[in-house]
Structure 1
Amino acid sequence: MTSTSSTFIAGLEVGHFTDPRRPTGCTVVLARQGAVAGVDVRGAAPGTRETDLLAPTNLVERVHGIVLAGGSAWGLEAATGAVRWLEEQGVGMPVGPARLPIVPAAVLFDLLVGDSAIRPDAEAGYRACQAASPATPAEGNVGAGAGAVVGKIFGIARAMKGGIGCASVTVDGVTVAALVACNALGDVIDHDTALPIAGARTLDGLRLLDSRRALLAGEAPRPLIAGTNTTIGVICTDAVVTKIQATRLAQMGHDGLARSINPVHTMSDGDTLFALGTGAAGKAPGMMTLGAMAAEATARAVVRAVRAAHGIDVAGLKLPSLAELGRA
C-alpha cells in the first residue's frame, strides 16, 4: 500500500481559488471526460447543490466537476462559475445543440473569520477552474480550506485553524484519493493513535482540551448558530465503478471522518462526501477493498488538512495551527 503520488487521479484536475480579502475560497475537482459520481450527506445542516441528481435511481450517470466552497449557502454560487468555464471548454452532457456541465457542490460555514460579506461567487469558481491541474493539490489555508476552523464546540475563541488536505492509497494498481476541507465542530483525531491533535483548547489556550472527554465529564458546549461548521470532500478513484458503487464509496468514506473527527456528523455540521470514479485503471477490485481504501484516504486527508494549516489572526480572532499550539 502506498500513499504518495505526483498526480491526483488520472483524468481529474484540482484547482483552488483563495480570496485575498479574507480567509475564504473554493476548490474544484474537474472531470472533463466525465466521471461516475455518488454522494452521501451525513451532517444535519448541509449546504449542497445538485446532489439529488446523484441518487442511484436518477438519470444522470456522470458529472463534469465538483465544487467545494466556503461562504455557507452563498458559496454555492461558485458552482455557477465552474459550469460557465466548463461550457466554454466544450465540456458537458449533450442537450440538443448545447452541452450542459453537471457540477454538484457543497459548502462549509466560514463566515465568522473576517468580513462575512466576502464570499466565494461565480467568479471565484471560474478562477478555481482556470487554476486546475492534475498535480497533487496544495493543502492547508487554500481554497475551500482557507477559512476552515476546527474545535468550535466550546466557542470559536478556543478553536484552532483547519484547512484542506489530500491523501491517496494505492493497492494492486488501483488508487483512491480523498480531498477534504475540514471545518469540523469537533476535534481532529490521529486515526492511528486515536488521540486528538487539533481542536478545542483549554481556557489558557495552550493545550488541547479533548472535547470528547470534556463533554462526557459534564462540560457544557457553547450555544451554536446552526450549521456553522461542516467537513466536505471528494473521494476519487481510477477504479471501474457503477453509480451505485460510487454512492457506497461516498458512504464508506464517512467511516474515515468518524475515525478522524470527534464529535462528527453533529446537528451543527453539514458533513458531505462526494465520490468520483474515472475507470482509468481498468480494474474493479471490489467494494470491500475500495471501501477500506476510501475510509483510510479520508481519515488521512483530514489529518493532513490540520497539519498543513497555518495559524491566522483576523480582526482580533487568533486561531493557532497544530504546529503553533502552546507557543503563545
Structure 2
Amino acid sequence: MNASTIAARLALSPGSITRVQGIEVGHHTDTRRPTGCSVVIARAGAVGGVDVRGAAPGTRETDLLHPTNLVERVHAVLLAGGSAWGLDAASGAVRWLEEQGVGLDVRYARLPLVPAAVLFDLGVGDARIRPDAASGYAACAAASSEPPAEGNVGAGAGACVGKVFGMGHAMKGGIGTASVTVEGVTVGALIACNALGDVVDPDTGAVIAGARTEGGRQLRDTRRALLRGELPKPVLAGTNTTIGVIATDAQITKAQAHRLAVVSHDGLARAINPVHTMSDGDTLFTLGTGASGRALGMMALATMAAEVTAVATLRAVLCARGITTADGLWLPAAGDL
C-alpha cells in the first residue's frame, strides 16, 4: 500500500474515541527509546468491562470488572508498553486522578480505580527503559477531549507487528482510534497494536502490515505462508499483544459492558491474522459513560464496537512511521514497502 493509498484510506476513516461524551485521552512517549503509555479517562466514572483473549496477558484490576463483582464504575484505563514493568504506570494515573478529586468515595479518601494492560515492546531499543509511575502521571496530565495522536505515540510507540517469522521480518505497529455514531450514541475505540500476526484491511482482507519476505521489501502474508507449511520462528510467550479500550456514551449495565468487550474482539479478528495466539495477551476494556442520556439496543452497540475496533486497529499501522533502532533493527511502516 503506497503513501497516497494510505492517505486516501485514512481520510475515509471515522473520528476518534474522544467523540464519546465524558472521555479524555492522553499519551506519554519516552523519547529515550520507543515506548510509552496511553490513558483513557472518565472523570465522572464509567461502567467498566473487560475480556482477555490472548494466552499471555499482563493486566491490573481486571477482576473488579467482572459483572458479578461489587464495583460498578471505574475512572480510567491505562495502556502501556514495557511488559509487566509497564503496569507501574497505572500507579501514576491513580495519583494524578486523586489529586484531581476523582475516584470512588471510600469515606476516608477518594480512590481512583484504574484497570490496566501492557504490551511487550522490550525488543525495540533499550529494554531497561520502560513506562513507570511518572509516565502514567504525565499521560493523565496531557489528557484532553481533543482527537488523540496516532501511530508511534504512547502505548504504540514501541509496538510492532508480523513477528511470526522473527523480528527481522516484522514491521512497525502503533496506536489508532476510530468512532461511529448512531441515533445520538457514539462508540469509539483506542487500540495499541503489537500483534504477532499481520494486520489486514477489514473491508478487503488485503494484508496491510506484517511479516515480510526474505528480501524484506514485500509482505509475506502470514496466514497463507503458514498454510503452505512455512515454519514459524520460536516466539517467547507474551512478547506481543494488542490492547485497547472501547468506550460508549450509551447507558449500559455492567453485564452489557462485559458483553461489548467480548464482541469487540470480533473486530480484532477482522483486522489481525492470526490473532489471540499463545504468544499474545490480547485484552480489550469497555467503558460506558452514559453521558448521552440514551440507550441503544445491544445488537447495534455490538456491531458498532466490533467496527470501531477493527478500524482503529487498521489505523494503528496506517498511522505508524518506520524506525531503525540503535542496534540496527529496521521496522518499516505500511507506507515504506
User: Common fold, TM-score beyond 0.5?
Assistant: yes
Distance 1:322 1:197 in 2: 6
Please say if residues 8 and 137 of structure 1, whose CA atoms lie closer than 8 Å, have aligned partners that are also in contact.
Answer: no
Distance 2:68 2:162 in 1: 37
Distance 1:28 1:247 in 2: 20
Who is 1:45 aligned against?
56
Letter matched to residue 218 of structure 1:
G
Distance 1:208 1:113 in 2: 21
Runs of 4+ in 1 over 2 A off after TM superposition: 2-8
Letter matched to residue 332 of structure 2:
P
Distance 2:89 2:307 in 1: 29
Residue in structure 1 matching 2:263, options 247, 252, 263: 252
Please say if residues 6 and 135 of structure 1, whose CA atoms lie closer than 8 Å, have aligned partners that are also in contact.
Answer: no
Q: Post-superposition shift, 1:284?
A: 1.2
Distance 2:286 2:184 in 1: 19
Who is 2:335 aligned against?
323
Residue in structure 1 matching 2:300, options 277, 280, 289: 289
Please say if residues 18 and 188 of structure 2, whose CA atoms lie closer than 8 Å, have aligned partners that are also in contact.
Answer: no
Q: Post-superposition shift, 1:97?
A: 1.9
**C-alpha offsets along residues 179-199 of structure 1, whole Å, 9 cap, x if unaligned?**
000000000010000111100
Residue in structure 2 matching 1:59, options 55, 70, 91: 70
Identical amino acids, percent of aligned pairs: 72
Distance 1:46 1:181 in 2: 14
3-state DSSP of counterpart to 2:152: coil
Letter matched to residue 15 of structure 2:
T
Distance 1:287 1:95 in 2: 32
Distance 1:169 1:53 in 2: 28
Q: Post-superposition shift, 1:10?
A: 1.3
Letter matched to residue 278 of structure 1:
T
Q: What pairs up with 1:236-315 in 2 under 5 angstroms?
A: 236-314=247-325, 315=327
Query: Structure 1 residues 30 and 309 mapped into 2: Cα distance closer, same or farther (>3 Å)?
Result: same
User: TM-score, normalising length from structure 2?
Assistant: 0.95
Who is 2:85 aligned against?
74
Q: Post-superposition shift, 1:5?
A: 6.1
Q: Post-superposition shift, 1:302?
A: 0.5
Residue in structure 2 matching 1:169, options 177, 180, 189: 180
Please say if residues 15 and 177 of structure 2, whose CA atoms lie closer than 8 Å, have aligned partners that are also in contact.
Answer: no
Distance 2:19 2:181 in 1: 12
Q: What pairs up with 1:5-154 in 2 under 5 angstroms?
A: 7-154=18-165
Who is 1:234 aligned against?
245
3-state DSSP of counterpart to 1:37: strand
Please say if residues 88 and 132 of structure 2, whose CA atoms lie closer than 8 Å, have aligned partners that are also in contact.
Answer: yes
Q: Post-superposition shift, 1:8?
A: 3.1
Question: 2:210 matched to 1:199?
Answer: yes
Higher helix share: 2
Q: Post-superposition shift, 1:18?
A: 0.1
Q: Which runs of 5+ in 1 are unaligned?
A: none
Q: Which runs of 5+ in 2 are unaligned?
A: 1-12
Q: Post-superposition shift, 1:50?
A: 0.3
Report the count of equivalent residues.
325
Letter matched to residue 49 of structure 2:
G
**C-alpha offsets along residues 74-109 of structure 1, whole Å, 9 cap, x if unaligned?**
000000000000001111001122000000000000
Letter matched to residue 67 of structure 1:
L
3-state DSSP of counterpart to 2:231: coil
3-state DSSP of counterpart to 1:102: coil
Q: Post-superposition shift, 1:61?
A: 0.3
3-state DSSP of counterpart to 2:296: coil
Please say if residues 3 and 170 of structure 1, whose CA atoms lie closer than 8 Å, have aligned partners that are also in contact.
Answer: no
